[in-house]
Chain A
Amino acid sequence: MDKKATMKAAADIRKLCIEELAAAGYGHIGGSMSICDILAVLYTDILDIDPKDPKKPDRDYLVLSKGHCGPALYATLAYKGYFDIEKLKTLNQGGTMLPSHCDRLKTPGIDVSTGSLGQGLSLGTGVAIGKKIQGLGGTVFVIVGDGELQEGQNWEAVQFIAHRSLSNIVLIVDNNKRQLDNYTENICKTFDYKSKFEAFGLHAFEADGHDVCDIYDKLTQAMKCGPSVVIMDTEKGHGCKFAEIPGFNHYMVISREMADEAIAEIDRRLEASYGQTD
């Protein structure tokens, strides 16, 4: 991977996502920001996909089980050329192709509809088995939130993946440590994800979810070793200055001025990080 290029992609995706949410005037900023670096690595360095042929059967799949963070994925898809970047300004407007939660029938590049938390991993297992039975290549990546792991269905799916030794699916946990109401730890203690997943029979990796190299390394390792999960240590709101707050940031009202300031800050930080990288 080209670290600088991927960091630039992550910054561009963040900026597009903020523009998109600002056009709507509000939205799920916190959880969208926490997955931008993961999406940048997946779509720049890992996924075997073709924006000109979004439905090719042997493609890699991305299931964003935390469907309310669709805006981050839409920004990524627009960045990759699945559709015109201008469309991002229609988020949540009546008749839009970009609804708040991911919809496979409306948006090119969205593989699976999500929104009712806890269902994406099961859908992913079905795609993985469907590929296997029909001899189709490609890996299925499923992103779940840490709050979302409170849904029991996830653990049904994890047991199933482990029992069947499914090697063409990789689970990614966006462990931003917060859910809508509060810090996850305060709502319902999570205990140690790594040992929980290992107890369920998966290979568990941990990565800094905002370090593109670490994300890439752990995902590529996970892809090689059978049923696996990568637990990404992330920060809710990361990279968007006004959302990097200890208070409520699940969704926020976003003014033009807030967006402009946040976007300028992303550029400043990227410049600074280039200095460190060099």
Chain B
Amino acid sequence: MSKRPWGFVVGGLLVALLLAGVVSNYASSHPDGLDSSLLKGCTVDAEGEITGGSCPAQQERDHELADSPLADYGVRGLDNDFLSTGLSGVLGVLLTFAVGGGVFWLLRRRGAQPPTAGAQSPTADAQSTTAGPQPPADDASRAARSR
């Protein structure tokens, strides 16, 4: 068996929290490559609102969830910009890890049973039949090589 990844994952999360919670405040506030390309041909005021001209972004509409408490990477009601951006980043990292980690944990192959022995839940069974005999073979060959 290979080493467990948990120590690395915790360390990586701390780095991500630091980046999103603190370093994010020093990010460039200029429009990104997509935004700036879409504004080409239009004139824009200091607020970033289109004031004239013709450009791909002129039909842009508001986001469906523009009033979300974390919209635009800030915490609504928090006046301190530094804290607002940082806290939204920290919440975003934790939420993304929870959603992503949760989904991937539920989707993962369980144990190392051969395909015929893996028939516990109906879904797992259906998956393993579509996946065919490849994963165990793959695993075995990898394990063999790493020995």
* A, B from the same assembly: no
